[in-house]
Amino acid sequence: MRRRALLALLLTAFVTLTPTAAQAAGFSDPFTTLDAQRWAIGDHPLGLGRFEPANVGVAGGALALTLPAGTLNGGEVRTNALWGAGTFRARMQAAPAAGSLSAFFLYAPPDYQSEVDIEIVGDSVLLSTYAGGGQTHTETRPLGFDPAAAFHDYEIELARKAVTFRVDGIVLRTWKNGLPKAPMALYVNAWFPTWLGGLPPATATATLVDSVTVAG
């Protein structure tokens, strides 16, 4: 009797597995549509503007995070699932708006506690980690190309004891300490940080994301 009860309980748990739990096994999203079970859209202030849901859309097989003309607003999506160790890859083309930042990163609140960043600023990439209430690593590297001219692959490989950053398959940096431990959501966004002092673009532009892949 106890075995039957235990078996029934296990079967119930399997059948009622939530979408978030199922997604934690990994995914590859080519952005033919925006999957609401996988992605949540940002709607909050940050930097010099705010993330507006109207600035997030899918067109032509790419996620578009629009920076509208005449404003300092942007767009953001994050996964509903939380992630620990894994390889996270985005094929992105950054918005060509002066003073803007396009980012692909892992984060869990509160600020400075759990974060691993790839941030594209101009023709450089800023790599950072946060853990235990502060920034534990940061480094800015020149990309050697215009990230707004074409799509490129940006990758975070996060393990229990190391994080490695790659661009187009080339290792830029590995850190083996100061890493966050908590599960984190995966984010992609485009916005105007206060420290870059950006001005509203004269014409609308967008950060385009051709695909996002997560592998455990």
Indicate the domain borders of the chain: 19-215
Q: How confident is the model at residue 24 (pLDDT cuts 50, 70, 90)?
A: low
CB 154 within 8 A of CB 173: no
Quick one: average pLDDT of 18-37? Answer: 76
Global pTM reads: 0.89
- Report the largest interatomic distance among the alpha carbons of the chain, rounded to a whole angstrom: 72
Residue 8 corresponds to which tokens in the numbers above?
A: 């029934």
Least confident of 21-25, 112-116, 162-166: 21-25
Q: What is the pLDDT of residue 17?
A: 34
- Return the percentage of the chain with pLDDT > 70, whole number: 89
DSSP designation for 37: T
pLDDT above 90: residue 6: no
Least confident of 2-16, 145-159, 180-194, 195-209: 2-16
Q: Which helix or strand (DSSP H or E) is residue 171 part of? A: strand 170-175
Quick one: average pLDDT of 126-154? Answer: 98
Q: What is the pLDDT of residue 216?
A: 82
CA-to-CA distance for 140 and 31, rounded, in angstroms? 29
Least confident of 1-15, 136-150, 160-174: 1-15
In terms of Cβ atoms closer than 10 Å to its own Cβ (0-12, 13-18, 19+), residue 82 is: middle
CA angle 201, 129, 103 (to 5 degrees): 25
Q: How confident is the model at residue 16 (pLDDT cuts 50, 70, 90)?
A: very low
CA-to-CA distance for 164 and 155, rounded, in angstroms? 8
Q: What is the pLDDT of residue 25?
A: 72
**What would the pLDDT profile of 153-199 be if each residue is shown by its tens digit?**
999 999 999 999 999 999 999 999 999 999 999 999 999 999 999 99
CA-to-CA distance for 20 and 39, rounded, in angstroms? 10
- Return the percentage of the chain with pLDDT > 90, whole number: 88
Q: In terms of CATH architecture, what is 19-215? A: Sandwich (2.60)
CA-to-CA distance for 183 and 173, rounded, in angstroms? 22
3 state SS of 43: coil
Mean pLDDT over the full length of the chain: 91
